[in-house]
């Protein structure tokens, strides 16, 4: 190591013989800004010097010292002061602090055995907390419903109408576009296959059943979960972060009645309408592709559709719309109310809300498929 004058900002470390003993002489600036520049070389040099136990350390020549510099020495010395060391009075305080920190760390070492078991346990408890919260939310919704039956004047009409507009009307362009495109693709691909068997007419059966019964409701639910569900979670989450929900509670406004109830009701109303709208768009798209690909005219398509698709399918689709709407809104509100006042929690809960809503919708769809297996399939 080079040794330079005290005015230059550099670190000095020299090995010298004095009175028959070996002395490590420290000087210069032992601060983070300076030692950081060549920390590896310093650590190696210090370790080499500290290797001999009877080394005498002379730290009195240090001009500036901070805890990083002290920490380097402390580590080289094996976390204790060496037998022979010369320190400036104010530097002794730093080493006293280091010793105190080590003592505190010693006390704090707790057992971390079975870490995986703890993690699994935490996961199970977390799931349980989610379920309890969700059941509480459902119960609160039912209580609100009963309350409004007794006091219909307190129905939050404005909020319901605002949510209907946001979740329903605003979603119409995107759902129609996606439905229309899916209809075209489905019809085009199916017609290629059907033509091989000469079964052209069955395109109407396939599109009618597939879109009305299955694809329409599912498509809308997934789009709405991503679009409206995430917005609901984020909105409630931000209201939690900014303590708006607490403010409402303090004013005697029930958060479930004013925030959750309108969202759930509005989505349960908007979804069946969106299902009809999207299904219609998808059928129009499919019809268009069938006309180009198989020469099936629009008039024939519309004449045949009611004959091959029993009306029961439409009721199933509407019921699915209502149920999916309830599910998406309840899941969104559940996660929104779980947001804790920090940014990380907000983003993770919004993600969870969308993922859970889509999963729940697909699960419900499977239940519908089993429960209605005897309805509307001729």
Asked if 126 is part of the footprint of another protein (rule: CB under 8 A), the reply reads no
Which has the closest alpha carbon to 369: 130, 235, 209, 259?
209
Is the torsion defined by CA of 35, 38, 42, 43 positive or negative?
Answer: positive
Among 342, 362, 369, 375, binds another protein (CB under 8 A): 342
Asked if 63 is part of the footprint of another protein (rule: CB under 8 A), the reply reads yes
How far apart CA 170 and CA 159 sit, in angstroms, is 15
Asked if 72 is part of the footprint of another protein (rule: CB under 8 A), the reply reads yes
Among 108, 115, 251, 378, binds another protein (CB under 8 A): 108
> Both tokens of residue 105?
């760390």
Torsion of CA 131, 135, 141, 145, to 10 degrees: 160
Residue 6 carries which DSSP code? Answer: T
Among 140, 205, 254, 345, binds another protein (CB under 8 A): 345
Among 66, 200, 214, 365, binds another protein (CB under 8 A): 66
- Whats the size of the chain, residue-wise? 378
Among 27, 29, 278, 350, binds another protein (CB under 8 A): 29
C-beta closer to another protein: residue 11 or 215: 11
How far apart CA 289 and CA 114 sit, in angstroms, is 60
Asked if 218 is part of the footprint of another protein (rule: CB under 8 A), the reply reads no
Asked if 100 is part of the footprint of another protein (rule: CB under 8 A), the reply reads yes
Asked if 352 is part of the footprint of another protein (rule: CB under 8 A), the reply reads no
Asked if 38 is part of the footprint of another protein (rule: CB under 8 A), the reply reads yes
Binding mask 80-99 for another protein (x = CB under 8 A): -------------xx--xx-
Kindly give the interhelix angle for 172-197 and 216-224, rounded to the nearest 10 degrees: 150
Asked if 125 is part of the footprint of another protein (rule: CB under 8 A), the reply reads no
Asked if 115 is part of the footprint of another protein (rule: CB under 8 A), the reply reads no
> Both tokens of residue 128?
């349980």
Could you tell me how many residues of this chain bind another protein (CB under 8 A)?
Answer: 44
Provide long-range contacts, Cβ within 8 A and 24+ apart, for 344-351.
345/237, 346/234, 346/237, 346/238, 346/241, 349/233, 349/237, 350/230, 350/233, 350/234, 350/237
Residues interacting with another protein, by CB under 8 A?
1-2, 4, 6-11, 29, 31-34, 36-39, 63-64, 66-68, 71-72, 74-75, 93-94, 97-98, 100-101, 104-105, 107-108, 110, 340-345
């Amino acid at each position: 190591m080079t040794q330079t004058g005290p005015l230059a900002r550099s670190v000095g470390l020299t090995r010298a013989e004095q009175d028959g003993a070996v002395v490590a002489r420290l000087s210069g600036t032992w601060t983070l800004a300076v030692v950081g520049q060549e920390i590896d070389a310093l650590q190696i040099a210090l370790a080499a010097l500290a290797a001999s136990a009877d080394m005498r350390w002379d730290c009195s020549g240090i001009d500036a010292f901070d805890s990083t510099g002290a920490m380097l020495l402390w580590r080289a010395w094996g976390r204790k002061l060496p037998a022979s060391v010369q320190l400036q009075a104010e530097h002794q305080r730093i080493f006293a602090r280091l010793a105190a920190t080590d003592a505190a760390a010693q006390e704090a070492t707790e057992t971390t055995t079975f870490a995986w078991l703890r993690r699994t346990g935490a996961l199970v408890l977390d799931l349980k907390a989610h379920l309890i919260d969700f059941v509480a939310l459902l119960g609160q919704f039912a209580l609100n419903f009963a309350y409004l039956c007794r006091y219909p004047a307190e129905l939050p009409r404005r909020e319901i109408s605002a949510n209907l507009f946001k979740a329903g009307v605003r979603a119409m362009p995107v759902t129609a576009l996606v439905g229309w495109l899916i209809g075209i693709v489905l019809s085009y691909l199916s017609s290629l296959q059907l033509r091989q068997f000469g079964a052209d007419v069955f395109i109407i059966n396939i599109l009618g059943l597939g879109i009305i019964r299955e694809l329409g409701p599912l498509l809308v639910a997934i789009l709405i979960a991503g679009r409206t569900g995430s917005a609901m979670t984020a909105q409630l989450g931000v209201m939690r972060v900014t303590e708006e929900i607490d403010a409402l509670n303090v004013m005697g406004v029930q958060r479930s009645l004013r925030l959750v109830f309108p969202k759930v009701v509005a989505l349960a109303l908007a979804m069946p309408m969106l299902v009809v709208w999207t299904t219609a768009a998808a059928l129009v798209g499919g019809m268009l592709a069938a006309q180009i690909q198989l020469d099936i005219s629009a008039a024939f398509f519309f004449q045949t559709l009611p004959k091959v698709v029993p009306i029961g399918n439409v009721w199933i689709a509407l019921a699915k719309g209502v149920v999916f709407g309830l599910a998406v809104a309840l899941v969104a509100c559940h996660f929104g109310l779980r947001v804790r006042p920090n940014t990380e929690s907000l983003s993770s809960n919004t993600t969870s809300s969308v993922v859970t809503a889509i999963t729940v919708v697909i699960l419900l769809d499977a239940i519908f498929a089993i429960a209605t297996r005897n309805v509307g399939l001729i």
